[in-house]
């Protein structure tokens, strides 16, 4: 039985690994270096001449000075880390195409899979899987020019069940040649939590002055209805979503990380973090729920938006989150 080979020289051009670093060349002295060296040599020569007149001790001192002046100025240089972004992208793209072709291959139609592998095993399926939204979920470099690629894809089977699946593919990229070391291996997806541990214990009444201001900000930010800069701290740049994503935004819930009276004018420079939940609508029948963690700063007796936080405030003492896969 012939040996199964998964090696393929892909059609089209594959980006080659970075060129080997050039051999170090001799340093070139600049005009300033030459001028400095000439001056130092003349000065040291004068010192040496004077030292000779002073006897053996002076001569030794002068020779040491001359030797120091004429030695080249060497600076240790560190090599920059290799840029592997091109290889990473090439291996990830190849693994993604391989997963899609492998899932869609059938006994009567496996051309796409054969285009990626020289001698793939015969496809056993009579019905192809439907594959949508394939993407690289993770990729790590391994020894021997190997990239461990995890590809995610939404897979619909013959039972019409659509599920987000994950597949691991070891890909070797060596001498501009891509090799799938095995066929894709289904693996468990990343863990996720079923509960959140955000830390906004204070519930803010939706009828309060604070809630009204947050609602107006979100409406201006997402629908372009009004000037969003009216609600921002001076110096904060938060241009509205363009073109507008929604036609109407309604605040549904507002929580803060600190208890406060939301109707009382705050002291200037006071900071507050809030979590705003709203319904954003395109039409009466098409809506989506959005959540914004915001940092507010008080100025002139009112709250202004300083930032859309990259992450919400978390409760460091909460250990109730459950993890599933």
Give the Cα separation of 289 and 272 in Å (integer).
23
Give the Cα separation of 318 and 287 in Å (integer).
32
* Amino acid 45: pLDDT: 53
Query: 244 with 222: CB under 8 angstroms?
Result: yes
* Amino acid 118: pLDDT: 79
Please state, in angstroms and as integers, the Cα–Cα distance from residue 160 to each residue in 17, 107, 112, 163, 325, following that order: 42, 20, 23, 10, 21
Smallest Cα–Cα separation from 92: which of 136, 134, 131, 132?
A: 136
- The reply to whether domains 85-192 and 202-308 share a CATH topology is yes
Give the Cα separation of 170 and 180 in Å (integer).
6
CA angle 113, 115, 121 (to 5 degrees): 45
- CATH class of residue range 85-192: alpha beta
* Amino acid 31: pLDDT: 40
Say what the pTM is. 0.62
pLDDT tens sequence for the chain (325 residues): 444 445 554 444 444 444 444 444 434 334 444 444 444 455 555 544 554 555 555 555 554 554 554 555 555 556 667 788 999 999 999 999 999 999 999 999 999 999 999 788 888 999 999 999 999 999 999 999 999 999 999 999 999 999 999 999 999 999 989 999 999 999 999 887 766 789 999 999 999 999 999 999 999 999 999 899 999 999 999 999 999 999 999 999 999 999 999 999 999 999 999 999 999 999 999 999 999 999 999 999 999 999 999 999 998 776 554 444 4
Contact residues for 10 (Cβ-Cβ < 8 A; gap 6+): 94, 116, 178
| Contacts of 240-247 spanning 24+ positions with Cβ under 8 A | 245/280, 245/282, 246/222, 246/280, 246/281, 246/282, 247/223, 247/281, 247/282, 247/283
* Amino acid 72: pLDDT: 53
* Amino acid 22: pLDDT: 46
Could you tell me the residue ranges of all domains in the chain? 37-70, 85-192, 202-308
* Amino acid 190: pLDDT: 87
CA angle 239, 241, 246 (to 5 degrees): 145
- CATH class of residue range 202-308: alpha beta
* Amino acid 245: pLDDT: 93
- Could you tell me the maximum CA-CA distance found in the chain, to the nearest angstrom? 103
């Amino acid at each position: 039985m012939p040996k199964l080979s998964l090696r393929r020289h892909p059609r089209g051009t594959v980006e080659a690994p970075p060129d080997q670093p050039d051999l170090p060349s001799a340093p070139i002295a600049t005009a300033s270096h030459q001028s400095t060296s000439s001056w130092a040599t003349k000065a040291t020569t004068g010192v040496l001449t004077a030292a000779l007149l002073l006897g053996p001790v002076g001569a030794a001192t002068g020779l040491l000075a001359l030797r120091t002046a004429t030695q080249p100025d060497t600076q240790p240089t560190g090599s920059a880390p290799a840029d592997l972004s091109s290889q990473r992208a090439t291996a990830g793209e190849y693994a993604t195409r391989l997963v899609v072709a492998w899932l869609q291959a059938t006994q009567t139609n496996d051309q796409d899979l054969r285009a990626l592998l020289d001698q793939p095993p015969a496809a056993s399926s009579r019905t192809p899987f439907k594959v949508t939204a394939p993407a690289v979920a993770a990729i790590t470099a391994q020894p021997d020019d190997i990239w461990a690629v995890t590809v995610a894809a939404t897979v619909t089977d013959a039972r019409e069940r659509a599920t987000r699946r994950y597949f691991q593919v070891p890909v070797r990229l060596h001498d501009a040649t891509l090799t799938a070391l095995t066929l894709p291996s289904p693996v468990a997806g990343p863990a996720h939590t079923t509960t959140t541990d955000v830390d906004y214990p204070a519930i803010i009444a939706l009828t309060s002055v604070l809630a009204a201001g947050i609602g107006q900000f979100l409406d201006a930010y997402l629908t372009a209805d009004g000037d969003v800069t009216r609600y921002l701290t001076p110096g904060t740049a938060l241009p509205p979503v363009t073109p507008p994503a929604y036609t109407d935004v309604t605040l549904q819930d507002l929580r803060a990380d600190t208890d406060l009276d939301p109707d009382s004018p705050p002291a200037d420079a006071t900071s507050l973090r809030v979590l705003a939940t709203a319904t954003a609508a395109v039409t009466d029948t098409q809506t989506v729920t959005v959540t914004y963690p915001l940092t507010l700063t008080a100025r002139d007796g009112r709250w202004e938006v300083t930032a859309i936080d990259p992450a919400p405030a978390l409760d460091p003492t909460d250990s109730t989150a459950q993890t599933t896969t």
